[in-house]
Amino acid sequence: MHACWIVLGFAEIVYFCDSVQDVLDPSSYIEPEDAVYWPFSNNNEDAHKHMNSEQEAKLLATQNDAPRITDMSTSQFDNLIRDGQVFVVPNISSEWEMKDWDCNFFSKDKEFRTAEIQQQYSNGADPAIVPFESGWTDKDIPTGVANQEAPALAPFYWGIKDVQYEDAAFHSWKKAMLTRVQKSFKLPHFMAPGNLAFMRRTPEFWFGKPGAGAKAHMDTHVGTTMSVQLAGTKRWRLRALDARRAPYLAMIYVDGDLDSTRWEPHYNITLSKGDALFVPPGFVHETLTVGEGCASSVTFQFGNPMAVRYYRRFFPRVRRTADIHEAWPVIQGWATLGSDDVALKAGLPFTKAKSKARDIFKVVDTNKDGIASKAEVSRLLKSPDDDHSFTWHDLNEDGQVTLSEFEQGFAFWAGITHTAVAETPRKWRKYQLQDMVDFNIEDLPRELTQKMWEWAKRKEHKKSEL
């Protein structure tokens, strides 16, 4: 097998392109090194303007900033998202109506001031639920974390996106409020038009005085997150989910669990007014309001494109991490080209899966030229604007999928899935295979998930000793 140099966002990484040998055989596949795959820089001079000397000295001692891109093109953006890169786009909200929506604005606005907000990440105490107009910035509830670098105070959250659903948390939230929010931002010029609908469905606001922030945790979102700083200064600490040696059916990165010990983030990013941070799915993250004054931000999720190449390159850990389990059926759809074969849910051994892949490829390759074009894949999926499946299988990124590439992409997914299911105790395998529509691993009883977690931890420890 010979190696190729493929540009992954900001870094050049040795990656496969051989079409003959089994470069995606799960038994020999090695994920990219985190430290190489996700580069960082230390050039965020703007954030330092909002720090006093003591804060700045502490920040500079630990800061690993994300790359900042001021002149973004659509193609560059799409590739960064597909690769699962972390990056910042400054001044993204300069033309938004909500660009100056600071904490004081929400407290005084005639329409928003009666909406209730809730403190999150409190230390077992009943979270404060108060309207914006209540003087909420004076309410201090500790997070209870022992780590001195973590947020000491609980932030406030306004999940106005939930007003779209029947089980919306508060009667004080009105659909007119969401409509106003939806009209108060613009889709960045470098993002595909289809993302506007995603963003209109997913806005949520976070607020915090200095020292407040979200404890380290991982969300179950399968798409990329964009967080825009509207006012104040906020520090984000992030790292990707860890490599795994055993299948975890219990959540690993539960809110705050990482704060009981000193965790090591890969990125330490400070956002100022107008900065937009893009975070791939499956990232542990923590926030902290720094500098002076209350900070406000708005967060969205979007799905065009998806972080397909990131999911593929780190699929061994993704498929073994319950925190990102909502991505499992999505990835299955990409790898199998939407096959409704129930037997595939449990995957297949790698060699057997390659044989199965050849049968599927015959259906896709309608002109029988040995290549699956993007148009052929789109026709099979009946989705002309969805290129996620094509991206999963286009291993060398040349705009076409050969039979060898399809065999590798399909069998890689099938082999890793097969191993994850087979290694799971038989009594728990059903949870690996259930649809994620009416079932969610998060809802399993805590007593059961504790047993699952302890089993996986022991198995992982044994494997590490080999």
Rounded CA-CA distance 376/430 in Å is 34
Task: Print pLDDT tens along the chain (466 aa).
Answer: 333 434 444 544 444 444 446 689 999 999 999 999 998 766 555 544 544 555 554 454 446 999 999 999 999 999 999 999 999 999 999 999 999 999 999 999 999 999 999 999 987 767 789 999 998 888 888 888 878 889 999 999 999 999 998 876 688 999 999 999 999 999 999 999 999 999 999 999 999 999 999 999 999 999 999 999 999 999 999 999 999 999 999 999 987 677 655 678 999 999 999 999 999 999 999 999 998 899 999 999 999 999 999 999 999 999 999 999 999 999 999 999 999 898 999 999 999 999 999 999 999 999 999 999 999 999 998 877 679 999 999 999 999 999 999 999 999 999 999 999 999 999 999 999 887 667 788 889 999 999 999 999 999 999 887 7
Beta bridge partners of 261: none
Q: So what's the pLDDT on residue 140?
A: 85
CATH number assigned to the domain with residue range 38-305, chosen from the 4 options 2.40.420.20, 2.60.120.650, 3.40.140.10, 2.40.10.480: 2.60.120.650
The closest of 266, 241, 391, 403 to 323, measured between CA atoms, is: 241
Which residues of 341-426 form beta strands (DSSP E)?
371-372, 401-402
C-alpha span between 391 and 403 (Å, rounded): 14
Rounded CA gap, 106 and 294, in Å? 12
Q: Sheet harboring 233-240: ordered strands across?
A: 267-271, 233-240, 283-290
Find the radius of gyration of the CA atoms of the chain. 23
Q: How far apart are CA 180 and CA 158, in angstroms?
A: 14
| pLDDT at position 19 | 44
Q: What is the phi/psi pair of residue 262, to 5°?
A: -80, 110
Q: What is the pLDDT at residue 391?
A: 97
Q: For residue 429, with 0-12 CB atoms within 10 Å meaning exposed, 13-18 middle and 19 or more buried, which class applies?
A: middle
Dmax (CA) for the chain in angstroms is 69
What pLDDT was estimated at residue 47? 47
Residue 385 is predicted with a pLDDT of 67
**Start-end of H helices in 267-372:** 308-313, 315-318, 328-336, 350-364
The residue type at 198: F
Give residue for tokens 């430290």. Answer: 35
Going by C-alpha positions, the residue among 397, 404, 406, 392 that lies closest to residue 364 is: 406
Rounded CA-CA distance 191/340 in Å is 31
CATH 2.60.120.650 region(s) of the chain? Answer: 38-305
Asked if 253 contacts 217 with a C-beta cutoff of 8 angstroms, the reply is yes
Amino acid in the structure at residue 117:
I
Query: Beta strand 233-240 with 267-271: parallel, antiparallel or unpaired?
Result: antiparallel
Residue 224 is predicted with a pLDDT of: 98
Backbone dihedral angles phi then psi of residue 162, each to the nearest 5 degrees: -75, -10
- Phi and psi, residue 112, nearest 5°: -85, -25
Of 264, 258, 205, nearest in space to 238 by CA: 264
Count of other CB atoms within 10 angstroms of residue 111:
10
Neighbours of 383 (CB within 10 A): 13
Of 405, 401, 412, 410, residue with least CA distance to 365 = 401
pLDDT at 10: 55
Write down the pTM of the prediction. 0.92
- For tokens 């080209």, the residue is 337
